[in-house]
């Protein structure tokens, strides 16, 4: 019971931290969720304790495929020649000697993953795992065969030609070793199993066939009937919001609106999904 209470408090406090002062109403409990909503959600979580006792905790979980890489960027000099040398798989040391103007960030943890983008296309992403920021360096490609490629002592690069708005540039990752995945120790596997047990993994934050746009959250939304709140939640889960730039807060606001509505309608499946996304 203590673990369950800690879980839900952790979830709501974390997403509340994403809200700027004055952006959303804060209740006397210090959260953006009313005490009535919290009580109802707590009862839902408590009821899941019975299911938790019957869960299988012998499942072995594996880490995301990962390796150590070196991020290299070239913004000046003969960038086309630098790209050609990467294509010919020059060694990292030789490359840095030949192009001393290049910048390098060594020994970075790189994670690879496959997913569908907003256009429902299969893509593979190689991403810097940065604990300090959500904006680590990454390279995304529609060439999904790269996911199976052996990258031992290999380059992966992204070349940008000069345009009216930006200069020519080259950004790359040099991999010293290939990717690998490890079995997660039992102690932490049980934690993952615990989360899977409490969250319906078949439920998604958003629905299929999303439409681009924006759905406003009315100022009087807390006064709406449960039926209208549920309808509004459904509309938001059917809408894709894409930011115009890195400073565009609309995607974050959209996610928080979904969290608020799913909490108010006691939709634990959606609430836990959208909130855990911020908690990760």
pLDDT higher than 60, residue 3: no
| Residue spans per domain, the chain | 2-58+185-279, 66-175
**Sign of the CA dihedral 233, 12, 134, 182?**
negative
Q: What is the pLDDT of residues 253-272, one digit of tens each?
A: 888 899 889 888 888 888 87
Closest CA relative to residue 176, chosen from 110, 123, 129: 110
Q: What is the pLDDT of residues 89-134, one digit of tens each?
A: 999 999 999 999 999 999 999 999 999 887 789 999 999 998 766 6
Q: In what order do the strands lie in the sheet with 122-128?
A: 138-141, 122-128, 103-116, 66-74, 169-175, 154-160
For tokens 């700027």, the residue is 20
DSSP line for 163-221: -SSS--EEEEEEESS--B--BPPHHHHHHHHHHHHHS-TT--SS-SS-EES-----TTG
pLDDT higher than 80, residue 276: no
Query: Rounded CA gap, 12 and 10, in Å?
Result: 6
Q: What is the pLDDT of residues 28-81, one digit of tens each?
A: 877 777 777 777 777 777 777 666 666 766 788 999 999 999 999 999 999 999
pTM, entire model: 0.64
């Amino acid at each position: 019971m203590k673990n369950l209470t800690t879980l839900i408090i952790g979830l709501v406090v974390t997403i509340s931290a994403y809200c700027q002062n004055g952006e959303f109403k804060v209740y006397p409990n210090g959260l953006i969720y009313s005490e009535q909503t919290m009580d109802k959600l707590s009862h839902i979580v408590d009821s899941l304790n019975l299911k938790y006792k019957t869960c299988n905790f012998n499942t072995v979980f594996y880490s995301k495929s990962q390796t150590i890489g070196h991020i290299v960027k070239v913004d000046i000099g003969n960038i086309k020649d630098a790209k050609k040398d990467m294509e010919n798989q020059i060694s990292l040391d030789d490359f840095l000697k030949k192009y001393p103007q290049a910048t390098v960030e060594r020994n970075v943890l790189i994670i690879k993953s496959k997913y569908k983008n907003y256009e429902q296309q299969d893509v593979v992403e190689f991403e810097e795992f940065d604990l300090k920021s959500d904006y680590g360096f990454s390279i995304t490609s529609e060439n999904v065969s790269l996911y199976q490629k052996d990258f031992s002592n290999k380059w992966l690069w992204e070349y940008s030609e000069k345009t009216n708005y930006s200069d020519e540039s080259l950004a790359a990752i040099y991999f010293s070793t290939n990717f690998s995945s490890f079995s997660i120790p039992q102690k932490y596997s049980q934690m993952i199993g615990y989360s899977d047990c409490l969250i319906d993994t078949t439920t998604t934050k958003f629905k299929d066939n999303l439409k681009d746009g924006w759905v406003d959250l009315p100022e009087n939304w807390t006064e709406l009937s449960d039926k209208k709140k549920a309808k509004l939640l459904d509309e938001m889960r059917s809408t894709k919001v894409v930011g115009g730039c890195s400073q565009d807060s609309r995607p974050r606001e959209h996610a928080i609106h979904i969290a608020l509505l799913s909490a108010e309608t006691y939709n634990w499946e959606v609430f836990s999904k959208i909130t855990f996304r911020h908690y990760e």
